[in-house]
């Protein structure tokens, strides 16, 4: 566990994604949860060592991928996420749980731990922004999309600490199989305007805004190269096959994961190809690819009569209830489209993907 600001901690070594702890005078706020049950027990132990018996006030999921949400069941607290995370997690039923277990076929001990896997869905959701005020802390949740349609940032404006989720990958290839690449570039541009002192990525070590530049260039490069190949009439398969080799060297690739990383890169290329072919992106180069930004300013502050997004005082005083999406977890299973972009897709014959 690493303290990156007074009362703000991260743990970077659990399977799945980085996790965070924000300590307040009234209790603790957790950001994402470890994927493996035993890791959650370790995480709870670390939390108690640092904060004593303070209650856990809530768990915030930065997106709906399994590397961020499987541990929700181990914390007796409401789960907060974006509306679209809740929507996607409605489909996480018995089949999803079984496929999680099956994906660890090379690790029987982990399979045994996951035998009683329970999906805990968000019970508090929001659309654009949500401010949490609790125990002297302001925690701002901002929807940016990009990596997934449900991806959010968690910004501590006083401490200048940003939990970026999988919007930021520190010195490694990003997972783009469900991405909106233009939206992702906008999110990275927005992050740079925040001037955060510390950025906690979804994967990799704590970093700074400088690390967002190589990721932006990576995404811009993919977009440019895909556009060129589409104009030449190349198929999706031809585009991915011709482009993947030039992308591999852009970030370090462990030798034992090279084949998996190449597969992951191809999925991202396919996703960008689909963005253009389905008409969600222009076929000509975007002149603003290098200067994309969200349509709101990071330094905006609310006035008394114009709150910045939604706000919740977790001591019990709620504001803008009618505008805040509040839903109880829906136990119904929902079928997803059976394509290579489905949210709960697994490749059971290959190494486990942390962020699928």
DSSP string, 95-140: HHHHHHHHTTTT-HHHHHHGGG------SEEESSEEEEEETTEEEE
Give the pLDDT confidence of 62-110 residue by residue, as tens digits. Answer: 999 999 999 999 999 999 999 999 999 999 999 999 999 999 999 999 9
Give the pLDDT confidence of 207-261 residue by residue, as tens digits. Answer: 999 989 999 999 999 999 999 999 999 999 999 999 999 999 999 888 888 999 9
Q: Are strands 310-313 and 198-203 parallel, antiparallel or unpaired?
A: unpaired
> Which pLDDT score is estimated for 281?
60
Q: Does residue 203 sit in helix, strand or coil?
A: strand
Burial (0-12, 13-18, 19+ Cβ within 10 Å), 18: buried
Cα–Cα dist 153/140, whole Å: 8
Cα–Cα dist 177/354, whole Å: 13
Q: How much is the mean pLDDT over the chain?
A: 82
DSSP 56: E
Considering only CA atoms, which of 161, 135, 153, 137 is closest in space to residue 5?
161
271 near 181, Cβ under 8 Å?
Answer: yes
| H or E, element range at 47 | helix 37-51
Q: Which residue has the higher pLDDT, 335 or 178?
A: 178
Neighbour tally for 119: CB within 10 Å: 20
> Which pLDDT score is estimated for 171?
87
């Amino acid at each position: 566990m690493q303290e990156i600001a007074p009362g703000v901690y991260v743990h970077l070594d659990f399977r799945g994604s980085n996790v965070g702890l924000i300590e307040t005078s009234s209790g603790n706020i957790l950001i994402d949860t470890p994927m493996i049950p035993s890791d959650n027990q370790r995480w709870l132990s670390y939390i108690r060592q640092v904060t004593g018996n303070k209650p856990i006030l809530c768990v915030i999921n930065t997106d709906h991928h399994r590397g961020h949400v499987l541990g929700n069941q181990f914390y007796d607290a409401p789960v907060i996420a974006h509306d679209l995370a809740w929507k996607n997690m409605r489909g996480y039923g018995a089949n999803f749980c079984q496929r999680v277990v099956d994906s660890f076929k090379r690790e029987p001990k982990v399979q045994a731990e996951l035998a009683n896997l329970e999906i805990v869905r968000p019970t508090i959701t929001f659309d654009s922004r949500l401010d949490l005020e609790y125990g002297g802390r302001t925690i701002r949740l901002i929807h940016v999309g990009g990596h997934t349609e449900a991806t959010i940032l968690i910004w501590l404006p006083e401490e200048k600490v940003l939990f970026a989720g999988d919007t930021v990958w520190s010195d490694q290839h990003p997972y783009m199989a469900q991405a909106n690449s233009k939206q992702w570039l906008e999110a990275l541009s927005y992050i740079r305007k925040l001037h955060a002192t510390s950025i906690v990525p979804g994967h990799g070590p704590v970093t700074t805004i400088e690390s967002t530049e190589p990721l932006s260039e990576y995404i811009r490069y993919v977009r440019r190269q895909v556009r060129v190949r589409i104009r030449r009439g190349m198929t999706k398969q031809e585009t991915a096959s011709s482009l993947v080799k030039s992308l591999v060297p852009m970030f370090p690739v462990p030798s034992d994961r090279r084949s998996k990383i190449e597969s992951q890169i191809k999925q991202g290329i396919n996703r960008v190809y689909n963005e253009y072919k389905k008409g969600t992106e222009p076929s000509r180069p975007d002149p603003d690819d290098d200067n994309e930004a969200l349509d709101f300013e990071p330094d905006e502050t609310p006035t008394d009569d114009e709150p910045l997004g939604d706000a919740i005082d977790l001591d019990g005083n709620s504001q803008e209830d009618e505008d805040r999406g509040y839903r109880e977890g829906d136990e119904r299973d929902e079928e997803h489209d059976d394509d290579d972009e489905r949210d709960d897709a697994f490749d059971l014959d290959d190494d486990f993907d942390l962020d699928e």
